[in-house]
Amino acid sequence: MSELTPERLHNLEIRERQTKAAGLPALKYSLKHVDEYMHYGAGLQTLATLNQKGGFDCPGCAWPDPDDSRTPMAEYCENGVKAIAEEATKRRADPDFFARHSITELGDMTDFELGKSGRITQPMHLAPGATHYQPVSWQAAFDLVAAELNKLDSPDEAIFYTSGRASNEAAFLYQLFVRQYGTNNLPDCSNMCHESTGTALSEVIGIGKGTTTLQDLHEADLIIVMGQNPGTNHPRQLSALEKCKENGGRIISVNPLPETGLLTFVNPQRPLKVLSGGTDLTDIFLQVRINEDMSLVRAICKILWEEEKKAPGTVFDQEFIEQYTAGYAAWTKMLEETDLEACIDGCGVSRELIEEAAGLIHGSSKIVLCYAMGLTQHENSVDVIKEMINLLLLKGSIGKPGAGICPVRGHSNVQGDRTVGVWEKLKPELRERLRAVFNFEPPTEDGYDVVNSVKAMGEGRAKVFFALGGNFLSATPDTVYTAKGLRQCNLTVHISTKPNRSHVVHGRQALILPCLGRTEKDLRAEGEQFVSCENSMGVVQMSKGVLEPASEHLRSECAIIAGVAKTTLGDRTTVDWANLVRNYDNIRELIAACVPGFERYNEKVREPAGFYLPNGPRNRRFDTADGKAHFTVSPLSNHALAPGEYLMMTVRSHDQYNTTIYGMHDRYRGIHHERRVVMMNEQDLAAAGLVTGDKVDLSSEYDGETRYARLFQVVAYPIPSGNIATYFPEANSLVPITRTARGSNTPISKSVRVRLHKR
C-alpha cells in the first residue's frame, strides 16, 4: 500500500453512542446489506435456511443454535446477514477484474474495498515478476503447488494455515494431507484467539473447551460476561442473556468499554419488546482497566473468603471443593495474604461496585462465565483464565445445570478444526489412529503455530505458505514483519472466496484457489454433499448449501485439498483422495475411525440438531492427572506504564467480522466512515493537548524495536484513563511478534504499550 496521507482519511463522523442493541436498526442494516450486495431471490433463499435444521451453518461466529425449536422467521442476527451478503454477493472478482487491476492497484485498495470486489470465479496465478493475476487451470495450479512443495529440502519448510471457516471434513482431509506430506506445520486461527483457553482449561479441568450448553445460560442464576462484546461479535448470545433475565437470572459485565450489547437488547423478533424498549441486560457493569480482570476477580474472591471464614460452607460449595478439586489450601492461603486494596487499585473499579458484585456471586450457585479475546490475548492470559476457573470452583459452578465456563468462539468452526486434528501439536492418540488407519508414520516433531510461522518465514526457514481460508496477513500481529516473511516465500497459496490483503502481499509467485461458500450447493460424483461444523458448545451439526455456485469453476474446500494432495503426494500416499470426495460420508467414516466422540458420525450428524461431543467436566469428570479440577495460584498483572505510554487493545467495529470489513459504521460506538481511530479517555486527551479529530501516529517499543501505525484520529471515548482502543487490522502493526501469552504463544493484541505522536 502506498504511503498513507491525510487525503486518504475518510470524513470521520462522531454520533451519539447507542444504548440499545439490535432492534429495528438491526433489521434496517440487514436489509440494506441484502439490497446492496445480493439478488433478492438469493437473499430470501439463504435467510430462510440459515441456521435452520437441515439448512446451512452461518459462516460468522460459533454461537450455537437451539437444540429444540429454531425461530422459523429468523434464526440469525444482523452480522449473520452481513456474513451471508459477503459470501452470496452478486459482485464478481473475475479474470476481467484482475486484468483491470494490477497487483499495485489492488494493494492500494482498503480492506473494505478489496473485500467488496466480489467472489473470485476462477483459479488465479501471479507469476514471478508479473504485475497482474492471470487465470490458470486447476490442474496447472495443483502441479505448481506440487512442484514447489516437492522441491523443498524439508517438509518443515512449508506452512499450512487454517482459518476457522473450514468444515470438519475439509480440516480432517487437510491435516491428513499435511501429515502424509511430512510436517506438523498446521497453524490455525485458534492460535491467535482461544489458544490460551485450550492451554488453561486443559490444565485445570482436563478439556480445552467450554463446559456449558445453551440451556445452561437460560437457567443460570448469574451470568458473568468478561472481555467480550457479544452485541457485535456473537449477537444471538443476547437472546440467551434475555432468556436468563426473564428466568430471574442476573448479569455482571466486565469490560474496559461500556459496550451497547451489554446494556439493553431490543429483540427484533419480539414486537412487544420493540415497543417496550427491550430488555435491560447488565445488572452490574464493572469497567475494569485493560488486563486487570484478574485483580478484580482476586478482590471478589478475597471478599467472599472473608465471608466464608465467618460462616464456613455458606459461601463456598465445600462439598464440591472436597470431592472434586485440588489445590484449595494453597489457594486460600494466597487469598489470606492478598492485599484487597492493591487489587481494588489495580483493577480501577470502585470498592462499592466490587462488593455489590461479590454480593451477587455470594447469593448465586449456578454461575456461567462467558468470555472471549478480552481475556485471551495478554502475556498472562493463561493465568487469567485459570483465575476465572477458581471463581467457578469455589461456587461449585462446573458440571451442573445452569453453570460452567463458556469461552465463546469467534469463527464458525474454529473449535471443530482443532477437534479433527488441525493443530501444530499432534496428539499421541490421533497419531496412533492415523498410523493404524492410513498405514504411514505421521511426523512427531511439533510444528509451527501462527507466531512461529511468521518468524520462520521472516527468517527464511519457511518457503511455501498455504492457507485454507482466512486473511493471514491482516489477522496476524506485527504486520510489517509478517509481510516481509510472506514476500520472501517462493510461493503463497490461498483457498479463498473473495480478494483480501493476503492476496496482494504475496510470495515470489502466488495462487488463489477459489472455493465454494457455505451457502452454495456442493455437487459431487455421488450427489449433493453436506459438511459439518462444531459450535462453541461442542455440538456438531450438518451444513448444506442452497444456492447455485457463484461460478462453474469453483470447487469445494474438500475437492481442492484432495486435488493438491493427490498431485503432491503421487504414489507416496496411501489414501484414495478422489474417492473420498465423491461422497463426504467416506471422509466422515475416517473421522469416526480416528477421532473420539465421532463414532456413528454419518448417522448422528443427520440428526436434525446434530450431536454433542463428549465433555467430561459437564458431568464432573475431570481428565486431569489426578482426576480433579484444580485451584491455581498466579501472580497479578503488572503493567508499569512509563509517562506518556498507554495500554492499547485492538477491537472489532460493529461493521466487521474478524478481518472482513462489512462497512464503515461502528454505529453502537457512534464512530462512522473512518477506521483509523483511537478511542481515548477525555481527560487523557486534554492532558495530551489533543481534541477529537486530531491526527496522530502511534508507536510501540518492544525488545529494542519500534513499530508504527500511522495517521489515526483520536476520539474522546469512555475508556479508563491510560487505556486506549483501536481497530484491527489497522493497528496490528503495533503488536510485537516477540511478545506472546505465556504457555499459549497467543499474540498480545489486547494489551500493547504504545505512545501517541501528534501530527
DSSP string, 299-356: HHHHHHHHHHHHSTTSSS-HHHHHHHEE-HHHHHHHHHH--HHHHHHHHT--HHHHHH
Q: Least Å distance between CB 728 and ligand SF4? A: 18
SS3 string, 162-229, reads: ECCCCCHHHHHHHHHHHHHHCCCCCCEHHHHCCHHHHHHHHHHHCCCCCCCCHHHHHHCCEEEEECCC
494 - beta bridge partners?
A: 467, 512
Q: Least Å distance between CB 246 and ligand SF4? A: 19
User: Is the link from the previous residue into 477 a cis peptide, with omega within 30 of 0?
Assistant: no
Instruction: Report the residue number, 378 or 409, with the smaller CB distance to ligand SF4.
Output: 409
SS3 string, 49-104, reads: HECCCCCECCCCCCCCCCCCCCCCCCCCCHHHHHHHHHHCCCCEECHHHHHHCCHH
Q: How many residues bind ligand SF4 (CB under 6 A)?
A: 12
Q: Least Å distance between CB 51 and ligand SF4? A: 6
Instruction: Report the residue number, 543 or 556, with the smaller CB distance to ligand SF4.
Output: 543
Instruction: Report the residue number, 235 or 278, with the smaller CB distance to ligand SF4.
Output: 235
Instruction: Report the residue number, 63 or 611, with the smaller CB distance to ligand SF4.
Output: 63
Q: Least Å distance between CB 60 and ligand SF4? A: 3
Q: Least Å distance between CB 238 and ligand SF4? A: 9
Q: Least Å distance between CB 178 and ligand SF4? A: 28
Instruction: Report the residue number, 466 or 530, with the smaller CB distance to ligand SF4.
Output: 530
Q: Least Å distance between CB 271 and ligand SF4? A: 20
Instruction: Report the residue number, 262 or 304, with the smaller CB distance to ligand SF4.
Output: 262
Residues 42-81 that bind ligand SF4 (CB under 6 A): 58, 60-61, 63, 76-77, 79-80
Strand, helix or coil for residue 257: coil
Q: Least Å distance between CB 230 and ligand SF4? A: 9
146 - beta bridge partners?
A: none
Q: Least Å distance between CB 484 and ligand SF4? A: 34
Q: Least Å distance between CB 529 and ligand SF4? A: 22
- Nearest-angstrom CA–CA distance, 363 and 318: 15
266 - beta bridge partners?
A: 22
Place of cell 463426504: 584
Instruction: Report the residue number, 79 or 332, with the smaller CB distance to ligand SF4.
Output: 79
Place of cell 467416506: 586
Residues 200-259 that bind ligand SF4 (CB under 6 A): 234-236
Q: Least Å distance between CB 362 and ligand SF4? A: 32
Q: Least Å distance between CB 63 and ligand SF4? A: 4
Secondary-structure percent of the chain, ordered helix, strand, coil, rounded to 5:
40, 20, 45
DSSP β-ladder status, 705-716 and 723-727: unpaired
Cα 145 from chain centroid (whole Å)? 28
Are the C-beta atoms of 447 and 461 separated by less than 8 Å? no
Cα 107 from chain centroid (whole Å)? 25
**Residue of 105, 95, 110, 92 whose CA lies nearest to 131:** 105
Are the C-beta atoms of 757 and 696 separated by less than 8 Å? yes
Residues 391-420 that bind ligand SF4 (CB under 6 A): none
DSSP state of 4: P
Q: Least Å distance between CB 294 and ligand SF4? A: 28
Instruction: Report the residue number, 77 or 335, with the smaller CB distance to ligand SF4.
Output: 77
Residues 510-569 that bind ligand SF4 (CB under 6 A): none
Phi first, then psi: give them for residue 8, nearest 5 degrees: -80, -15
Are the C-beta atoms of 510 and 492 separated by less than 8 Å? yes
What letters, b where the CB count within 10 A reaches 16 and e where it falls short, cover 333-364?
ebbeebebeebbebbbbeeebbeebbebbbeb
Instruction: Report the residue number, 76 or 712, with the smaller CB distance to ligand SF4.
Output: 76
Instruction: Report the residue number, 51 or 733, with the smaller CB distance to ligand SF4.
Output: 51
From residue 427 to residue 446, the character string flagging contacts with ligand SF4 as x (rule: CB under 6 A) and all else as - is: --------------------
- Nearest-angstrom CA–CA distance, 502 and 492: 9
Instruction: Report the residue number, 22 or 495, with the smaller CB distance to ligand SF4.
Output: 22
Instruction: Report the residue number, 164 or 507, with the smaller CB distance to ligand SF4.
Output: 164
Q: Least Å distance between CB 412 and ligand SF4? A: 6
Instruction: Report the residue number, 73 or 641, with the smaller CB distance to ligand SF4.
Output: 73
Instruction: Report the residue number, 76 or 481, with the smaller CB distance to ligand SF4.
Output: 76
Instruction: Report the residue number, 71 or 338, with the smaller CB distance to ligand SF4.
Output: 71
Residues 78-137 that bind ligand SF4 (CB under 6 A): 79-80, 83
- Identity at 460, one-letter amino acid code: G
**Residue of 197, 221, 423 whose CA lies nearest to 317:** 221
- Identity at 685, one-letter amino acid code: L
Instruction: Report the residue number, 659 or 713, with the smaller CB distance to ligand SF4.
Output: 659
- Nearest-angstrom CA–CA distance, 185 and 406: 29
List the alpha helices (DSSP H) in 439-553: 450-458, 472-475, 479-488, 501-504
Q: Least Å distance between CB 233 and ligand SF4? A: 8
∠ at Cα 378 (375, 382), nearest 5°? 65
Residue 164, CB-side half-sphere exposure with 13 Å CA sphere: 28
Instruction: Report the residue number, 51 or 197, with the smaller CB distance to ligand SF4.
Output: 51
Q: Least Å distance between CB 34 and ligand SF4? A: 14
Place of cell 457493569: 285
Q: Least Å distance between CB 194 and ligand SF4? A: 15
Are the C-beta atoms of 133 and 103 separated by less than 8 Å? yes
List the alpha helices (DSSP H) in 659-745: 682-687
Are the C-beta atoms of 470 and 161 separated by less than 8 Å? yes
Phi first, then psi: give them for residue 315, nearest 5 degrees: -115, -50
Instruction: Report the residue number, 227 or 396, with the smaller CB distance to ligand SF4.
Output: 227
Q: Least Å distance between CB 415 and ligand SF4? A: 13
Which residues of the chain form contacts with ligand SF4 (CB under 6 A)? 58, 60-61, 63, 76-77, 79-80, 83, 234-236
